[in-house]
Amino acid sequence: MIEAAYAQGEAIAVIARRTGLGEDALRRHLKKHVKPLATDAAGFEAQLDQWLSRINQLFLTASANGELRVQVEAARSAMAILTQKQELADERAKRESAVKQAASQGLSLNDLDKLVRTAQAHLDFSRTCSGCGRLGVPHAVV
């Protein structure tokens, strides 16, 4: 719950007031127990899953003990994580759709063959450009 709120950018002072913990204690806790956020989507999603599991355990324990305030905070944190997971899924779907669309509008094998034949007709690939070292010099260059 604390980790999820902090990861979402909630200020330590706000978390401290909400949880009743001291700011210094929260800073020590975060420094000692919170790993840096993953920078890749899969790692970030795995961290979200781990937090969701911990929040679920907290919610179940609070339910068994009749701690309504903790249940509400756990439910709020779980909703925030589920929202982030949905945003990740939506972004992934958007990227996959863009890739499929680009592939459907891309060059066909025949188009690539035509480009290679045109290049072979106009360029001598046995030589490199004396100026830049690029492979393929126009046939007219001596």
Q: Which helix (H) or strand (E) holds 85?
A: helix 68-104
* For the chain, counts of helices (H) and of strands (E): 6, 2
**Average pLDDT for residues 86-109, to the nearest whole number?**
78
Q: Is the pLDDT of residue 94 over 60?
A: yes
Cα–Cα distance measured from residue 40 to residue 35, given in angstroms and rounded to the nearest whole number? 14
Orientation angle between helical segments 12-19 and 23-33, nearest 10 degrees: 110
Q: Which of 15, 8, 94 is nearest to 48 (CA)?
A: 8
What pLDDT band is residue 139 in, cutting at 50, 70 and 90? Answer: low
Give pLDDT tens digits for 6-20: 877 788 899 889 889
CB 30 within 8 A of CB 6: yes
Longest dimension (CA), the chain: 89
Residue 137, burial from CB neighbour count under 10 angstroms (0-12, 13-18, 19+): middle
DSSP 8-state symbol, 38: P
**Average pLDDT for residues 121-134, to the nearest whole number?**
73
Report which residue type is found at 103: A
- Domain positions in the chain are 2-104, 109-138
Is pTM beyond 0.85? Reply is no
What pLDDT band is residue 93 in, cutting at 50, 70 and 90? Answer: confident
Of all residues in the chain, the percent with pLDDT exceeding 70 is: 85
pLDDT of residue 142: 46
Give pLDDT tens digits for 17-74: 988 989 999 889 888 877 766 667 777 788 888 889 989 999 999 999 999 999 999 9
